[in-house]
Amino acid sequence: MDDAVRTALSKDTLIDITTTGRKSGQPRRIEIAFILEGDGLYITATPDRRRNWFANMRADPRFTFHLKQSLQRDIPATATPITDVTERRAFFTSQLGERWTQFKDDLEDWIARSPLVRVRLEDGR
C-alpha cells in the first residue's frame, strides 16, 4: 500500500462502497463510514435495520472501496463478515467505549445484530 492510501486511511472517515446487488447483479454504491483499528480495516453500522450492502457482501464479498476525502482512489477489496462473538464483543466494546459513546448502553444489541466486516484491500491490507 502506498503512503498516500495509508495516510488517507488514518485520517478520513467516510468512503463510498460499490457492491454487487445479490438479486439484480447490478452495482450498488453507497456512502458509509469505515474504521481503522490497529492493523484492521472495518465497516459496520447500527443494529436498527437490515443492510443491503451487508447482504450483498455476504453474497459476493468482492467490492470497491472508494476513497473520496483527502484522496480519491478506487481500490478493489474483499469483505469478511465477522461472526465470532468474542471478536465482535472486543470490537464493539472498543468502539462504543471510545468512538460511539452514546451507544455504550446498547453493547449487547450491537454484538448480536450489527453488520460487521473486516476489509482486505487488494494490496493485502
CATH classification for the domain delimited by 3-84+115-121, as one of 2.40.10.170, 1.10.10.10, 3.40.710.10, 2.30.110.10 = 2.30.110.10
pLDDT value at residue 100: 65
pLDDT value at residue 73: 96
- Consecutive sets of 10 residues in the chain, 125 residues long: mean pLDDT of each? 91 96 96 91 90 96 97 97 95 80 78 95 72
pLDDT value at residue 120: 96
With residue 89 as reference, give the H or E element that holds it: helix 85-98
Given a contact cutoff of 8 angstroms between Cβ atoms, the answer to whether 53 and 32 are in contact is yes
Given a contact cutoff of 8 angstroms between Cβ atoms, the answer to whether 111 and 98 are in contact is no
CA angle 71, 75, 81 (to 5 degrees): 120
